[in-house]
Structure 1
Amino acid sequence: MNIDLAILNAQVFNTFTKKFEKKNVSIIGDKFYYITTDEFENLVAAEVVDAEGKYMVPGLMDIHMHIESSMTSPSIFSETALTYGVTTIVADAHEIANVFGMEGLEAFFDQPSVMDIFYAIPSSVPSTTPELETTGGYIGVEEVKQLLKHPKVIALGEAMNFNGIVNEPDSLIRQILREVQMNKPFMPLEGHIPRVSGLELAKFLYAGLTADHTHQSPESIYEKISSGMFLEFQKKSITSENMRVVVENNFYDYVAIITDDVMADDFLEGHLDANVRLAIACGMPAEQAIYCTTYTPARRMGFQDRGAIVTGFKADFLLLDDVEKLDIAAVYKNGQLVHEKGEDFRYPAEKPNFPEHFYQSIQCRPLTAEDLCIKVTASGKALVNVIQIAEVGTFTEHVQREVEVVDGYLDWENSGLSLIVVMERYGKTGNIAYGFVENALREKGAIATTWAHDHHNLMVMGTCAADMIISQNHILDIQGGYAVAQGGQVQATCPLPVGGIISDASIQELGAGLKEVRQAMNALGYRNSNEIMSFSTLSLPVSPVIKITDKGMMNVRSQKMIPLVEGEEN
């Protein structure tokens, strides 16, 4: 009998025993055929690979991630992530949906890719409500009905509107949940449940949400898993103390390792493979880390054809030189070699294709000096509400500070705080909202972006009015992206001309540009474990505790607006 590929003498990972066994593996077409410790006597292979000294594991699977976080297209993402052994992903494309709605999703669905890209229905577009943030797109019940019919859609993406889920039975997110549960009762429903426990956790579970990917602690891991929740560990949750809870309680079947968000510059260094190595370094046995990036994610998403090296499954696999280091020698997708160690990132055979108007989507007026003169009725000093950021993670705290008032205006440039401004960019309302941020910029300068989770309005933050104007105007010129200004000049820029959130440049060019932005932010004194994400989530009104949209600052839990100056209307 003829076979297409034979992998001989490999140490093959047995998913069900969690052990490596020396075996020979045959492949016909895109599936594993016969796997044995014996020699192939009646099988004639068109290609033979002697994998003596190498380890063979299933292709990695990332079931909770956002392609747009890497600021690139699905086709470019595919070519890059394959380099790191990722052969299947489930993408929640709520960023492009927030900008372009169904049209944005369809543009993603139509992108060709070598890896298998499945999608989760964006359940939170907008992340809260149109009354609290302005978006370009909207995903309601009718859109969900359409998406449920799409063959690439296999899950419901993270439900983020806490208040709508637990307190409002007729909210949009509750309507979407009911629609999915009625028509696709076995579809996985992904949650976004930071700092939630006790009765509030029970309310989430009761609504049908059975997974969480947010920042975990040892206590939250034990409570959530013992309550029946599946946990997905992104980088910031992969710590020694967290892995210890998983190991000591043998929780492997209830967790997966995922990425959620990988910035374009970090993408040059690794993807899901980097989180696997981190989990191993933090105490998870290598065999279990492989299990939690192959088989448990496959089961979570309901796949019946991948996640293990067994007869009849997709022939997606990696050959490793070292298991503990996850040192990838070769990557195979559907039985075909797609990457070997030492090869550079590939660009797709065809340049990603998007509608022309996707490249002209920033409908926002230039910022002026007058916009940054904040008049108040108070005299002497004014009490202002402030978003306080930390050096680790994206959670914030609500604090109050006093700012000097000079001639009826806030003297914010000398306050030690950064002024943050969010401008509606879709040409709908022209809203401008103001806030203050503490622990952001320590030097004079400014940062501007249209990559503002999740509404993606134009956001600019600075300690110098002139630099804020320069950075915002530059963003308009390049139709979206990041810009850092200092001393009256743009110091770094990363253009994202597709909807203001995506580039069709090579990952090398894109990553280099974002790295320059990150370095320029550091030069302004921005300190965080992920500066880009920290800044870009100041606008995410579902991440604790206080954030800002084009409607103003708001308390995330209560969804109540917070005035810039205490005692005065916004």
Structure 2
Amino acid sequence: MGLRESIGVARGHREATLLLKNAQLVNVLSGEVYLTNVAIYQELVVGVGVDYLQAEQVIDLKGKMLLPGLIDGHVHIESSMVTIPEYARTVVPLGTTAIVIDPHEIANVRGLDGVSFMMSSSKGVPLGVYAMVPSCVPASPFETAGDTLMAYDLADFLLKRRVLGMGEIMNFPGVLNADEDLLGKLAMAHDMIIDGHAPGLTGKDLNAYIISGIMSDHECVNPLEALEKLRLGMHVMVREGSTARNLADLLPAITWANHHRCLFVTDDRHPSDLMDEGHINAIVKKAIALGLDPMIAVRMATINTARYFHLPRLGAIAPGFQADMIVIDSFNDFNVEYTIQRGHVVAQGGHPLFGSKKADTSRVVNTVSVGKLSPEKWDIHSEEPEKQKVKVIGVVPGQAWSHNVEATLPVVDGIVRLDPNQDIAKIAVVERHKATGNVGVGFVKGFGMKRGAIASTVAHDAHNIIVVGCSDADMQHAVERIVDQQGGLVAVRDGRVLDSLPLPIAGLMTEDSVPYVAKKLENLQRICQQQLDVTVLNPFMTMAFLALSVIPELKITDQGLVDVEKFELVPVIS
């Protein structure tokens, strides 16, 4: 594509490759919506105006709305449980034309080999895929990950094409305590984008966190928290994922004066939610329904994201911008009728116009290796004769954070027992990267489980095997099945596998389609409800975040219970 030819098309001396006529253009640069034509030459927008009338291909939009392609500014693809080619076949028809991935999930399993796999698998896919280099692998010193990425490991990767900067800095205590390696990572990325992760951080500590060069946060849960971060110069990523949904709570903080520093992200979105609700399109639609000005909503999904990540040719429809755009029927319904990426129609009527492709998975499979599991591994001992006070992880439905609660449980033969009558099950994390034999065991409240066990290798962020159950034998059987299938999800009752979803790619993903995975997850959830009496929604996703040792209050890893606010390991016995 030559500049000379593009100038010729813009001046009307050459024919455009694609013309979109009679479009109600949503101009995020001027804040207007007006009827016009848009001329595209190969991958670029070359002209906007009613004087452009001819092209090799002409699509008459008949007054439908033309918007810039939607951008997800922070997403962990691994949470969709599918590869990028399969992910694209679902989100591109929903209007997403670019994403910024933080592949720290797979990096915790396979290090930079995992990150390289994600980037290489995205080649040739009609979806712009940009990456932030994982900054915290492992996320904290309280877990055993499959790899450790030090500052010197990341230097060359930061120079790679499509890498925009440093991924979310989750270890905020490390920043505040001036951890040498972490400061080294921040220094390496000082002239790039550095994403944050600072739930509940405020006052002087927040100032100290920001001065290190961190520019954004996606962990705000209320307007006051978002406003404080905006006032101090941060960009606020408004998250609406599968587990954490903060859109409705944060909307009061967004105004005409500050919205340019706000953007939409999904962070983690499950296959069933992608199928049932959508992607960024669903967030824009919901924001408008909740009263956000439509122009602000569209900007937060397009130009704001592009500007934050220094992507000057994305996020708007104007001469010189990459021809990423979508056609919708209306702001209120927000049905995506066409998706155009790099000047080509790649989806129409909700269906992709491109196929899938297989990736080389040789360096990201066979990742589950567990040490010997004796029955005693599941025991929690007590010297009390009958009852014991213990710390319990309290599930908070719909959120990644948890409560630190206390309960009194029965003691039998010196072993603390779970109590389904108090809605208290047993929870454990089994190290699966290096066969260390580490098993962290504790108690959890809020699943409603009365029998059986569920287990998964999707356990943020080290992605060891996490298991919740009402029977030690079923918990062990569930873990053994996970090892046999080399990762994934499983539900067990009375020593029998009720159903499972193998995830052979790093224990996190499969090359199956999003609809297939969604159907399997739906069946697993139905089994949890009907045969295990689980009451919490999305039990596997809920369970996955109970191992995330950087989000308050009480979490569990293969090393034991973690009091996140104290940032230390604590005993189960109170």
Please give the TM-score of this superposition, normalised by the length of structure 2: 0.92
Partner Cα distance (2:137, 2:353) in 1:
33
1:77 aligns with 2:87: yes
Partner Cα distance (1:450, 1:241) in 2:
31
Q: Does the CA contact (< 8 Å) of 1:55 and 1:321 recur in 2?
A: yes
Aligned counterpart for 1:394 among listed residues 393, 396, 400: 400
Alignment-derived partner of residue 182 in structure 2: 173
Alignment-derived partner of residue 211 in structure 1: 216
Change (3 A) 1:533 1:444: same
Aligned counterpart for 2:193 among listed residues 188, 195, 200: 188
Q: CA deviation at 1:154?
A: 0.6
Letter in 2 for 1:544: P
Letter in 1 for 2:173: N
Alignment-derived partner of residue 119 in structure 2: 109
1:161 aligns with 2:171: yes
Alignment-derived partner of residue 8 in structure 2: none
Q: Deviations over 1:214-272 (max 9, x none)?
A: 1420111221111211101111454445213213x632101001111111222223111
Partner Cα distance (1:316, 1:35) in 2:
14
Partner Cα distance (1:209, 1:526) in 2:
40
1:547 aligns with 2:559: no
1:58 aligns with 2:68: yes
Partner Cα distance (2:470, 2:204) in 1:
42
Change (3 A) 1:519 1:203: farther
Q: Deviations over 1:494-549 (max 9, x none)?
A: 21111111111122211211222233333434444643332101000001111111
Alignment-derived partner of residue 125 in structure 1: 137
1:152 aligns with 2:165: no
Partner Cα distance (1:241, 1:387) in 2:
24
Letter in 1 for 2:432: R
Q: Which aligned pairs between 1:141-540 and structure 2 lie closer than 5 A?
A: 141-167=151-177, 169-181=178-190, 185=191, 187-235=192-240, 236-247=244-255, 250-269=257-276, 270-343=278-351, 347-348=355-356, 350-355=357-362, 358-365=364-371, 367-412=373-418, 416=422, 417-523=424-530, 524-528=532-536, 530-540=538-548
Q: CA deviation at 1:368?
A: 4.6
Aligned counterpart for 2:51 among listed residues 38, 54, 68: 38
Q: CA deviation at 1:365?
A: 4.2
- Gaps (5+ residues) in structure 1? none
Partner Cα distance (1:294, 1:89) in 2:
11
Q: Deviations over 1:128-157 (max 9, x none)?
A: 12xx11111221111210111111211211
Change (3 A) 1:39 1:337: closer
CA RMSD, aligned part only? 1.8
Partner Cα distance (1:148, 1:424) in 2:
30
Change (3 A) 1:518 1:409: same
Q: CA deviation at 1:413?
A: 5.3
1:138 aligns with 2:148: yes
Q: Does the CA contact (< 8 Å) of 1:118 and 1:152 recur in 2?
A: yes
Please give the TM-score of this superposition, normalised by the length of structure 1: 0.93
Indicate the percent of aligned positions where both proteins have the same amino acid: 29
Letter in 2 for 1:206: I
Change (3 A) 1:554 1:293: same
Letter in 2 for 1:254: R
Q: How many residues align?
A: 553
Q: Does the CA contact (< 8 Å) of 1:441 and 1:462 recur in 2?
A: no
Q: Does the CA contact (< 8 Å) of 1:444 and 1:463 recur in 2?
A: yes
Secondary structure, counterpart of 2:282 in structure 1? helix
Q: Deviations over 1:284-319 (max 9, x none)?
A: 122211111000000000011111000011001101
Q: Deviations over 1:349-403 (max 9, x none)?
A: x322211x53311101464534334333222212211111122312111122122
Q: Does the CA contact (< 8 Å) of 1:318 and 1:328 recur in 2?
A: yes
Q: CA deviation at 1:50?
A: 0.7
Alignment-derived partner of residue 32 in structure 2: 19
Secondary structure, counterpart of 1:516 in structure 2? helix
Q: CA deviation at 1:438?
A: 1.1
Partner Cα distance (2:551, 2:88) in 1:
29
Partner Cα distance (1:207, 1:39) in 2:
49
Q: Does the CA contact (< 8 Å) of 1:367 and 1:473 recur in 2?
A: no
Q: Deviations over 1:40-69 (max 9, x none)?
A: 3xxx41111111121100000111111111
Alignment-derived partner of residue 572 in structure 2: 564
Q: Does the CA contact (< 8 Å) of 2:285 and 2:331 recur in 1?
A: no
Partner Cα distance (1:557, 1:276) in 2:
34
Secondary structure, counterpart of 2:159 in structure 1? coil
